[in-house]
Structure 1
Amino acid sequence: MEDLPGPLLLDILARLSDSADVARCRVASRAINSLAPEIRSVHLYCSHLRYAKSRSPLTRSSITPFKHVFCKLLSALHLVERVYLGIDKPLRLVSYDDVEDEDDDLFLTDVNFLRAWLPDVCPHLKSISISDFWVQSCWRRTDMLSLISSYCSKLVELEVKNAWLSVDGLTPMPNLTVLTLEFIRLDDENLEKYYLDVYSPLH
């Protein structure tokens, strides 16, 4: 591994689907450690196992908060173009009725969390994908669209899943060509007006 050309090694690292794996490789290799800051994307997903450990009284104290891990990985990069953040598929099946979770450690569309890292990476950011934890996000409305639209002028792709979104304060994003909203609760008075106009008993 140490003998591979730098550009090839960097290309391999950039193809890893989990930034946590990159962090582990940095510990094992000096060459990787020196090149890792040149990677331009962060891919981080919370597994069901990690979530379970963070809730267990036996292991809770040994688990670094997920948001803290993400911010640390992000701060280690020189330039960031893509951010992929979310939860693994098994966690999507967790029901609020089963958990009654009032924590916010996986409330990933929280504007306070976004403000902690977005201003530092926004100048070059082209793609954002956030898959929120519905158990924690379904009862918390977020103004993340307003925040992202005001900071990320070069954004081309935006994907948001499992969130309660507001469009208040949303500004045009002229470079955005791909928008994906999945399992979204959307607050938009224009949609409400459209619904009343179309489905009014007078029509």
Structure 2
Amino acid sequence: MNIKQTLTFVLQSVVIGLAAAAIVLLLIPGSFLTNSARQVDSYHAAIEAAAPAVVNIYSGNSYTEHRNPILQDPLFRRFFGESSEDKSSSSNTRKRIDSKGSGVIMDAQGHILTNAHVIQDAEEIFVVLRDGRETIAKVIGVDSDTDLAVLQIDLNNLPVIPIGDSNQLHVGDIVLAIDNPYDVGQAVTQGRISATGRKRLGISSFDNFIQTDADINPG
């Protein structure tokens, strides 16, 4: 089995479990309903079980900053003086850090599942945990067909997502999505399972998707 086949197999297995407990959370009725009216009282327990393992992912990319040409003009310097910045080169290379998306810590070894487009073209990848810890991540593998990527971080005492069983999912089940919209902090949206076993989506390597109408915000 070559590397791509191995990665695809691992990603497929992870997605099946992840769909029930990570970015999309299956709420088991018996755990979160009141005894009387059997109505959902709160999703707090489900969110607290998953949210610590949801991380924010940033990318670092170099770019060239060009100085305003007027600062190099002799007439401008004559009237406004010459600063140390004016004496430097007309351009500087800097690094821009952008918030790209979210991911989920899958195990104690620091493997993180995220989307491939989140880390696309990133020179460096930074991960920020809910508890405030920050670290650099390395790319373990990418599967463009399913838009999935596996990263790894080297930290101790990592919160790990509880994996569910996608075979227990049913159309109409409540799901929650945890993200970090516009880098303002974690937020939760609610939806339902719209369909299971979605096929014929033009993705050759994996063709068994779970559809949900939960809003997914940028980040």
TM-score category (smaller protein): under 0.3
Q: Which has the higher strand share?
A: 2
Q: Which has the higher contact order (CA 8 A, sep 6+)?
A: 2
TM-score by length of 1: 0.26
TM-score by length of 2: 0.24
Greater CA radius of gyration, 1 or 2? 2
Q: Which has the higher helix share?
A: 1
